[in-house]
Structure 1
């Protein structure tokens, strides 16, 4: 079961103080971006954050889970506890880079001439 749009919008509204919030549907669930950085993974109406040393002091006792088959274990963030969620998001935002845009494959120029193949008998 994937997360509902209502849940995603509720999470985004709850953490709006963290910065510029947007979300994107990915792999059947949602990724929430804070200041263009992918920080929260929403799967099955549960908020997951990556296990990183910088949030160990805040999330060390938090429940852990696997958001989808094949994924690494993540912390399960109680986003409604804003006294916990906002500092966790701030710490993650500091150490998470803005993803670089992928370059599309190189295009072949229409004016280029094909190179002759030497392995073809003429």
Structure 2
């Protein structure tokens, strides 16, 4: 089962108080960004927030689970908690604040000029 577009739209709307929220389709599911930092994944219509000390303090005793087979543990946020806009925005905001800034991407190297195959003479 994959995440429905309606789920992404709902979460994005619930987090509209945060100015720099966006989602991106990745590996058949979605990543959520805040201030260009990956703060969560949405997999199988479930929200998985990156674990941070600030998030753990905010949640108290978080429910931890892998976002996908073989992943590390994330804070799994039940759908009933999504209804509280302020609470959800607070969690995402404190998580983003605790995460390091993304590393700048290295400039792309220009592609080498293609080597034309030598012409054959017959």
Unaligned runs of 5+ in 1: 111-122
Give aligned pairs, total. Answer: 110
Note the C-alpha offset of 1:103: 2.7
Structure 2: where are the runs of 5+ without partners?
A: 114-122
Matched, 1:65 2:68: no
Q: What is the TM-score normalised by the length of structure 1? A: 0.76
Native 8 Å contact 2:56 2:62 kept in 1:
no
Runs of 4+ in 1 over 6 A off after TM superposition: none
Q: Which has the larger radius of gyration?
A: 1
Superposed displacement of residue 24, structure 1: 0.4
| TM-score when normalising by structure 2 | 0.76
Q: Deviations over 1:10-60 (max 9, x none)?
A: 100011102222110011100111222211210000111112112222223
Aligned partner (choices 86, 89, 97) of residue 86 of structure 1: 89
Contact 1:58 1:84 in 2 (8 A): no
CA RMSD in angstroms, aligned pairs only: 2.1
